[in-house]
Amino acid sequence: MKRTRLLGRGPAGLPVLLALVAAGTASPVGFAAHALPVPVVQTCTGFQSETFTPGLNSTLRQVAGEGNGELTSCLPFGDSLPASGRVTSTMSGEMSCSGGARTRTTTITWDDGGSSTLEESGGVESPVGGGRAAVFKGEIRSGRFAGATTITTRTLSPLPKPQCATEVGLTEASGPLAVEITRLL
């Protein structure tokens, strides 16, 4: 029997392959499925408190910060996926109450004792529909999910705080936190 190599393998090539097999001019042995990596997304939500030194005000200036929080709900969760975690982070960059850019290192200690260390960068964004958020994009550098990409969003107050108008500035802030982890299987 003569084997024919099909171009355009996949769903579009299946009817052609079946017709050739039925006619006896091709064999299904040479028609192997090529699996593509499947992205798996896990989203965790919770709350984070942050401190800034010096405080954030209306002027862009070099600021360092620390954050602590909890991820109380991670979906999906299951055999190999955690359901919750504790978050600690350090950050630095040119920041103000209204914007700027920063880099941050975050460690998530998962409920099963494992951990992930994220390296991210980002700043304040104003999504469509109003509101403001600090959005960071990066990668998990070590631990569970190493190599996965991340998007971390910390929802901010829609209006500047009164402390932003002072030289001392806003030294503490807290709010909802979401971490999205995308990895390929």
Higher pLDDT: 156 or 87? It is: 87
Say how far apart CA 98 and CA 95 lie, in whole Å. 8
Instruction: Judge if 97 and 154 occupy the same domain.
Output: yes
Of 100 and 21, the one with more pLDDT: 100
Tokens representing residue 132 in the block: 């403001």
Same domain? 147 vs 164: yes
Q: Do 43 and 28 sit in the same domain of this protein?
A: no
Would the pLDDT of 18 be above 50? no
Q: Which CATH number is 83's domain given?
A: 2.40.350
Residue with token string 């004792």? 113
Based on the fold, state whether residues 114 and 158 are members of the same structural domain: yes
Residue 16 confidence (pLDDT)? 44
Q: What is the mean pLDDT of residues 141-164?
A: 89
Is the domain of 1 the same as that of 88?
no
Q: What is the pLDDT of residue 172?
A: 93
What is the predicted pLDDT for the residue at 15? 46
Tell the residue number behind the tokens 């909802």, with chain if given. Answer: 176
In this predicted model, what pLDDT tens digit does every residue of 142-151 receive, in sequence order?
A: 999 999 999 9
Q: Give the predicted TM-score (pTM) of the model.
A: 0.76
Considering the domain architecture, whether residues 168 and 126 belong to the same structural domain is answered as yes
- Report how many domains make up the chain: 2
pLDDT tens digits along 31-71: 445 667 777 789 999 999 999 999 999 999 999 999 999 99
Over residues 68-117, the pLDDT tens digits come to: 999 999 998 776 789 999 999 999 999 998 889 999 999 999 999 999 99
Q: In whole angstroms, what is the distance from residue 82 CA to residue 1 CA?
A: 53
Q: Are residues 96 and 160 in the same domain?
A: yes
Q: Kindly state whether residues 17 and 61 are assigned to the same domain.
A: no
Find where tokens 């631990």 sit. 143
Please check whether residues 106 and 177 belong to one and the same domain.
Answer: yes
Check whether residue 13 and residue 81 sit in a common domain: no
- Give yes or no: residues 24 and 109 share one domain: no
* Candidate from 11-15, 45-49, 124-128 with smallest mean pLDDT: 11-15
Pair (59, 19) in one structural domain: no
Range with the lowest mean pLDDT among 7-11, 63-67, 166-170? Answer: 7-11
Q: Which 8-state DSSP code applies to residue 94?
A: E
Residue 13: partners with Cβ closer than 8 Å, 6 or more residues away: 6, 7, 31
- Provide the domain limits for residue 23: 1-34
Q: Give the lowest-confidence range in 17-26, 62-71, 117-126, 150-159.
A: 17-26
**Amino acid in position 29:** V
The one-letter code for the residue type at 142 is S
Q: Where are the alpha helices (DSSP H) in the chain?
A: 14-23
